[in-house]
Structure 1
Amino acid sequence: MDNGLVTFFDVTNCGFYRIRQAAANIQKQEELIKGSLANTLTLVTQWLNGREFSQTIPWDVDSNPFKSKVYCKDYYSDPITGQFLFVFCKALTNDSGALNGFIEDAKVGTSDTDVVRVNNKSKGRKLIYGQPMYYWFIPELNLIASINFKHSIASTENVTDYFKKCIDNYIQTQNRKVATRTIYNSKTNRDINIKSVSYMSDSNKFSMTYKFDAQLKELSVDDVSLEKLARNITHLVVRDKISSSKAVQDSLLFELFDKIRGKQSKLKRDKHVEIISEVNLDESELRAILGVYKEEQDDSSDWNNVGFRINNEDSTKWFNSYVDRKHLQIEPRLKKDDSYYPAKVLFEAIKIQQEGLLDFTKQSQLVAEEIKKAVGYES
């Protein structure tokens, strides 16, 4: 099976924003006027539909000679979930035998042969060499996910910029204003046109700018499915300092500490202790341990900590720095011409595994509800 690392990003901005001037030494305040992730995806797919691959760069390449070239090879929009899967291609300039040559006049989403390996004959057709980038868009959760395999790359900044350039440069939206100026570029020894785009509000009372930004979402222990995590934990690891004056509370987890305290009750200085105990936990037990950990953890200590080991592995994962990793499994034979996964094919694999990939959203909701109850908040 091909194993793709899935990395999630929160969409922090997507749409048309009014920029308000703020007081001195205070950042400008942004106000979303209209637009959404779903709306942006719909507009861009309409622009892409039927375009030649070489014509899917949404900016003037001649005016931006040093900007990375990003194309769109394929996309799929799911009518049931409203989710999208895009296959982008970031062009590369070397001729390594591992690269793909995308036929430049093939149509977006075509089912015909549209890609060849660099070391194969192209039969006289012009090729654009590059590597695929797979991006999954989940509008109802305001999330983006990159899916990175060994044969692909990920560049979320390039992808969000791609959508902004599509909206600003090629999609005719209401009340769009374009200003152009020319500057001389000494590196290319020629004039370059600089375009700035703004939008007027429906009332024509203020101007707006289009923004699309995303921020990495690290899945901490609060976000993961505790039921699934508990099943895989085989050892708990506890680090603490013990001394002659320190009393260790009785508990099954710290049973060994009690024995140490009994045998060495007259220690003259602190000792660093790490206890690794084999366990078999269920969800409720893990949740209780996390509760104790959060209450007792001393963040100022460079030693005290609580962690765990999964599936009898030797490496310890600490609760305070644990980052969950999601993976997508897919059959390599589903690649097109042994090169890239078509958008619909990859989305079908996502759909089958979606519950496990998105279980952190349910967990986050549960944690939020528990916090509300703890502070006496009633919805």
Structure 2
Amino acid sequence: MLQSGYLNFFAVNKCGLYRHFSDIPKGLDLADAFARLKEWKDDRNFEATNPWDSSKYKNKTHCYCHAIHSDSETGDFFLVLWKGDSDRHGPLYGITVNPDGSIEQVVEQTKAKGSKQMIWGRPCYYWVVPELNIVASLKFDNSRTDSAMFQDWVSGCLNFRVPLPEYVVSTTEKGFTRFELNDDDDPYKYYFQFDVSMKSLSTSSAEMQELARKVTQIVRRETVSIKDVNKRKGFAKLFQNFEVPYISAEDNSIRQVELRIEAKPTVEELEQIIETYAANHDTKSWEDVGFVLDKSNSIVWASKYRLTDHISLDDDNQPVFKADEIYAKVKENRERYLAPIRRDMLPKQDIANG
């Protein structure tokens, strides 16, 4: 069956070992970090790829690594992670685990039989491109995307699990992992950081410059709970200060709220708004941020200015795509996917080169 999905791109702001108040990494850049993750994963069974002790890190989403594929020609990596999940929104899958910790198969919950141990969840797909220092998430109907979980998983593995013999590794009193080089000429202490953010069009692009000239209002939409007064955030707080009609909590319902604010943001501010608040391209929900242009009533949603693309491939009647097979499809269209990012990077490179 043909499955259609979306690619959403993220800029890698940091990946590596950093000193406090420094933006220059000492080691473990994007290519090196994921090469070590792959080597570590290849020697581990499925259950051992969750980096956190569930008894100590109860607030962490359980995340396992199904597979990591690397491509020697491009230098790319493709990861299939498994997000421990129990909600009922969409199909839920279980991975059967053998006594030796290896995985046997992936089955849909409605088709699960027998008493074998199962790890319930959904797949997450990530394409890592060290050449351009970017990451893309791939979202299908039966998969999830969770950039915070992805960042936590990478950091958790490199801080707690992946062997790094060239460093002296210790833990601070506050539980942070600290790295030191076996080198008397480098007495500094380093900390691993991995940070990504939504990739939008460059502030130097003509499209963003035109947007900044035309924006007259910023639109924010939220869904507000009427009943949970103590948990109110954002617009919901307004209901505590104003007499808003027709907001009785007797029906235990929610309200959709839209706020429009006159504004003339700069291109830098627009970029921050888009990268922080733009809704997922495939998400159908009320919550969103947009812009009103030239005093018109039409809204241009922030997601329009995100770098996104589409992908379609046959699932061969399997609930989870194999890492090498889905990457083969990505590679077929690699240059098309990356061309907008390369074009977007040119103005910044020109400025850097004077």
Which TM class, normalised by the smaller chain length? Answer: 0.5 to 0.7
Percent identity over the alignment is 23
Q: How many residues align?
A: 271
Residue by residue, what CA displacement relative to the aligned partner does 1:208-227 show, whole Å, maximum 9, x if unpaired?
Answer: 11111111111369769x9x
1:77 aligns with 2:70: yes
**Unpaired segments of 5 or more residues in structure 1?**
20-27, 182-193, 227-238, 241-293, 295-300, 307-314
Say if 1:33 and 1:366 are closer, same or farther in 2 by CA, change over 3 A. Answer: closer
What is the CA–CA distance in structure 1 between the aligned matches of 2:205 and 2:344, rounded to whole Å?
A: 5
1:129 aligns with 2:117: no
Task: Tell me what 2:4 maps to.
Answer: 3
1:219 aligns with 2:187: no
Say if 1:99 and 1:17 are closer, same or farther in 2 by CA, change over 3 A. Answer: same
What is the CA–CA distance in structure 1 between the aligned matches of 2:294 and 2:178, rounded to whole Å?
A: 53
What is the CA–CA distance in structure 1 between the aligned matches of 2:81 and 2:99, rounded to whole Å?
A: 14
Amino acid at match of 1:215: S
**Unpaired segments of 5 or more residues in structure 2?**
208-213, 216-266, 268-290
**Which of 52, 58, 76 is the aligned partner of 2:45?**
52
What is the CA–CA distance in structure 2 between the aligned matches of 1:106 and 1:46, rounded to whole Å?
A: 23
Cα RMSD after superposing both structures: 3.6
Task: Tell me what 2:336 maps to.
Answer: 356
- Larger Rg belongs to: 1
Question: Counterpart of 2:343 in 1: which secondary structure?
Answer: helix
- Deviation of residue 160 (structure 1)? 1.4
What is the CA–CA distance in structure 2 between the aligned matches of 1:106 and 1:50, rounded to whole Å?
A: 17
Task: Tell me what 1:12 maps to.
Answer: 13
Task: Tell me what 1:102 maps to.
Answer: 95
Say if 1:88 and 1:45 are closer, same or farther in 2 by CA, change over 3 A. Answer: same
**Which of 308, 311, 327 is the aligned partner of 1:326?**
308
**Which of 304, 307, 311 is the aligned partner of 2:294?**
304
Amino acid at match of 1:178: S
Q: Is the Cα contact below 8 Å between 1:176 and 1:197 reproduced in 2?
A: no
- Deviation of residue 334 (structure 1)? 3.3
Amino acid at match of 1:159: F
Task: Tell me what 2:275 maps to.
Answer: none
Say if 1:90 and 1:321 are closer, same or farther in 2 by CA, change over 3 A. Answer: closer
- Deviation of residue 117 (structure 1)? 1.2
- Deviation of residue 325 (structure 1)? 5.0
> TM-score, normalization: structure 2?
0.66
Q: Is the Cα contact below 8 Å between 2:9 and 2:198 reproduced in 1?
A: yes
- Deviation of residue 18 (structure 1)? 1.3
Say if 1:106 and 1:198 are closer, same or farther in 2 by CA, change over 3 A. Answer: same
Q: Is the Cα contact below 8 Å between 1:218 and 1:324 reproduced in 2?
A: yes
Q: Is the Cα contact below 8 Å between 1:220 and 1:324 reproduced in 2?
A: no
Question: Counterpart of 1:331 in 2: which secondary structure?
Answer: strand
Task: Tell me what 2:177 maps to.
Answer: 197
- Deviation of residue 55 (structure 1)? 1.5
What is the CA–CA distance in structure 2 between the aligned matches of 1:164 and 1:87, rounded to whole Å?
A: 16
Say if 1:138 and 1:223 are closer, same or farther in 2 by CA, change over 3 A. Answer: farther
Question: Counterpart of 2:110 in 1: which secondary structure?
Answer: coil
> TM-score, normalization: structure 1?
0.62
What is the CA–CA distance in structure 2 between the aligned matches of 1:348 and 1:214, rounded to whole Å?
A: 24
Residue by residue, what CA displacement relative to the aligned partner does 1:305-325 show, whole Å, maximum 9, x if unpaired?
Answer: 89xxxxxxxx8859x984155
Task: Tell me what 2:280 maps to.
Answer: none
Question: Counterpart of 2:155 in 1: which secondary structure?
Answer: helix
Task: Tell me what 2:148 maps to.
Answer: 157
Q: Is the Cα contact below 8 Å between 1:50 and 1:107 reproduced in 2?
A: no
Amino acid at match of 1:156: S
What is the CA–CA distance in structure 2 between the aligned matches of 1:345 and 1:303, rounded to whole Å?
A: 43
Say if 1:333 and 1:165 are closer, same or farther in 2 by CA, change over 3 A. Answer: closer
Q: Is the Cα contact below 8 Å between 1:5 and 1:325 reproduced in 2?
A: no
Q: Is the Cα contact below 8 Å between 1:220 and 1:323 reproduced in 2?
A: no
